[in-house]
């Protein structure tokens, strides 16, 4: 219950009691005065008629004898007529009780009115109507309840908006996945038709290799999407381990050594002698995607620079390729985005790299100049590492 309600009731009862004692005191004083007046009239009349009986009258007044005799005489002749004020006290008590009742009735009615408003508000929330604001800045249990409901409403609204956003995101993602898988599947159907009617073994072998490439592309796409879904759902628990920065870069380069040799691309490393505390496997995955992307666009070399300072550890991956178009650079980390210079890309690798880096208190940036090359800058901040 509201603290103010108890205080108000206490003050009201205290005032009623004080007034009761005041009125009772006035009535008692009135009774006493009337008794004194009656005694004064009686003693005065006796003294006036019998002046010699003064001592006898005083002695009779002080000695409490013959009560029955005197009381019967008073009743017989109705000698003392003092008005009874009990009815006034009764009326006062009734009025006081009525005032207290009205105070409590108004308060309880106000509580039920507020509860009714809360009930209506809750029904609106159930019907996805979050437009009503019931936040209050007063004290009391009802006000605290309304404020808690307001906070809950804000949270439910955010969750509802998030669910709508996720639903839309899932719909768009499924459309993108469908589109990405549809292309290699169409190629495989065409290759299957050709192989069915082709008798030349060399041609068959050529198309079988193409078919295998399409299967590998689908496999890579599904594997990458599964990794992305694990990252986004939060099921991936990153396990941080300390590793030398130079060794981390070597692990990221190792899977594409053959590709680098085939394309005659030189890796130039300039790595400080330092270590970093990260999830090794997932970070290798992120760096591999970026280096592989550079490998696909560079002319003949990729420079990897590693450095550290009190705030963060930085890794730069620099290529000397054709660069990224200005209209593409702001979308380069978006899922399924294909730059104007790379129509064959699926557009998952860089998006995955960004998520992995962000999950480890890091950021990734890119700068590029067409015809000169691109630089990917990764920073792992140390405050949470």
Query: pLDDT tens-digit profile of 283-314?
Result: 998 998 899 888 888 888 999 999 999 999 99
Can you read off the two tokens belonging to residue 2?
């509201």
CA angle, corner 99, sides to 97 and 103, nearest 5? 115
Give me the torsion for CA of 40, 42, 43, 46, rounded to 10°: 150
Question: Tens of pLDDT along 217-258?
Answer: 777 777 777 777 777 666 778 888 999 999 999 999 988 888
Question: Tens of pLDDT along 192-216?
Answer: 877 777 777 787 788 788 778 778 7
102, 239, 289, 334 from 110: Cα distances, Å: 12, 57, 65, 55
- Residue by residue, DSSP assigns 203-238 as HHHHHHHHHHHHHHHHHHHHHHHHHHHHHHHT----
CA atoms within 13 A on the CB side of 271: 17
Determine contact, residues 349/289, Cβ cutoff 8 Å.
Answer: yes
Backbone dihedral region for residue 316 (phi beyond 0: left; psi -120 to 50: alpha; all else: beta): beta
Residue 128's CB: how many other CB atoms inside 10 A? 9
This prediction's pTM: 0.53
**Cα 31 from Cα 275, distance rounded (Å):** 101
| Residue among 365, 244, 357, 264 at smallest CA distance from 308 | 244
Backbone dihedral region for residue 336 (phi beyond 0: left; psi -120 to 50: alpha; all else: beta): left
- Domains and their CATH numbers in the chain: 3-126 (no CATH), 164-233 (1.10.287.130), 241-381 (3.30.565.10)
Question: Tens of pLDDT along 252-262?
Answer: 998 888 888 88
For each of the chain's 385 residues, which pLDDT tens digit applies?
Answer: 556 667 767 777 787 778 777 877 777 777 777 777 777 877 788 788 878 777 777 777 777 777 777 777 777 767 666 555 667 677 777 787 787 788 778 877 877 777 777 777 777 777 767 666 665 656 666 667 767 777 777 777 777 777 777 777 667 666 666 766 776 777 777 878 777 777 777 877 887 887 787 787 777 777 777 777 777 666 778 888 999 999 999 999 988 888 888 889 999 999 999 999 999 988 998 998 899 888 888 888 999 999 999 999 999 999 988 888 888 888 888 877 766 555 555 667 888 889 889 989 899 999 988 888 899 999 999 875 4
């Amino acid at each position: 219950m509201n603290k103010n309600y108890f205080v108000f009731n206490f003050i009201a009862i205290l005032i009623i009691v004080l007034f009761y004692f005041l009125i009772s005191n006035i009535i008692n004083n009135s009774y006493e005065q009337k008794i004194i007046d009656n005694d004064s009239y009686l003693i005065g009349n006796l003294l006036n008629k019998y002046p010699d009986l003064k001592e006898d009258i005083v002695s009779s007044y002080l000695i409490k004898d013959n009560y029955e005799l005197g009381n019967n005489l008073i009743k017989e002749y109705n000698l003392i007529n003092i008005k009874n004020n009990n009815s006034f006290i009764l009326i006062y008590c009734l009025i006081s009780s009525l005032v207290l009742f009205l105070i409590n009735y108004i308060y309880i009615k106000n509580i039920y009115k507020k509860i009714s408003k809360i009930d209506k508000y809750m029904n609106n929330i159930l019907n996805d109507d979050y437009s009503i604001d019931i936040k209050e800045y007063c004290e009391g249990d009802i006000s605290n309840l309304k404020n808690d409901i307001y906070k809950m409403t804000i949270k439910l609204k955010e969750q509802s908006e998030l669910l709508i956003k996720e639903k839309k995101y899932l719909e768009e993602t499924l459309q993108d996945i469908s589109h990405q898988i549809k292309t290699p599947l169409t190629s495989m159907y065409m290759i299957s038709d050709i192989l069915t009617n082709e008798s030349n073994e060399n041609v068959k072998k050529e198309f079988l290799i193409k078919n295998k490439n399409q299967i590998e592309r689908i496999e890579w796409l599904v594997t990458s999407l599964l990794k992305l879904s694990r990252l986004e759902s939060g099921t991936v628990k990153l396990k941080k381990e300390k590793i030398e920065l130079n060794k981390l870069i070597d692990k990221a380069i190792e899977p594409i050594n053959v590709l680098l040799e085939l394309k005659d691309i030189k890796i130039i490393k300039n790595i400080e002698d330092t270590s970093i505390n990260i999830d090794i496997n997932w970070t290798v995955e992120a760096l591999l995607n970026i280096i592989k992307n550079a490998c696909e666009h560079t002319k003949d070399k990729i420079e990897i620079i590693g450095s550290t300072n009190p705030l963060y550890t930085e890794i730069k991956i620099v290529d000397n390729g054709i660069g990224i178009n200005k209209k593409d650079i702001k979308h380069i980390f978006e899922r399924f985005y294909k730059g104007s210079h790379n129509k064959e890309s699926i557009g998952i690798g860089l998006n995955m790299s960004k998520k992995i880096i962000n999950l480890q208190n890091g950021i990734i940036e890119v700068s590029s100049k067409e015809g000169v090359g691109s630089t990917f800058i990764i920073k792992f901040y140390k405050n949470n590492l």
